[in-house]
Amino acid sequence: MTRVYLALGSNLGDRLANLRAAIASLDERGIAVTARSSAWETPPVPAGQPPFLNAAVAAETALDPPSLLRELKAIEHALGRRPGPHWGSRPIDLDILFYGDVRIETPELTIPHPRIAERAFVLAPLSDITSGPLPVIALAAIDLLERTGLQGAVRRFAL
């Protein structure tokens, strides 16, 4: 089993219900959630769309990275996500932040997730579930979050 960290986001429909449904779906697909963050409401990136609820989970899985990505895409589809503009509004978005201490760069998948160190909307939820150094990066999420100036985290909701 490999420890993974996943980011979740939603800015369409019942955002909190979308996040909860995605988390419930993970267990059904061989991705055992071991910790979940609060849901953080953040401004959209880019602007001009509804605000997001963002969350993070830690999980254990026997799936290899491409299989994990396929399962996440299947969950997104089952919850109503359809192809659309890059960084556009969506009912659910699931991203692999870390997969053990592995680095991967293929046309389909980059791990750790690109620009993680710059994104308060990822780091705030991640800091809820891990306090130690992040895999590969070797810095704590809270330290990276402080470097962003904590910009973007608006409100927290229980998930």
Rounded Cα distance, 145 and 148, in Å? 5
- Residue 13's domain is classified under what CATH number? 3.30.70.560
143 tagged catalytic? no
pLDDT digits (tens, 9 = 90+) for 73-100: 999 999 987 776 666 678 999 999 999 9
81 tagged catalytic? yes
Burial 2-34 (b: 16+ CB within 10 A, else e): bebbbbbbbbbeebbebbbbbbebbeebebeee
Q: Find the catalytic residue in 3, 20, 70, 93.
A: 93
Q: Find the catalytic residue in 14, 27, 64, 95.
A: 95
Q: How confident is the model at residue 149 (pLDDT cuts 50, 70, 90)?
A: confident
Range of the domain at 153: 2-157
DSSP single-letter state for residue 11: -
Q: How many domains does the chain have?
A: 1
pTM greater than the 0.75 cutoff: yes
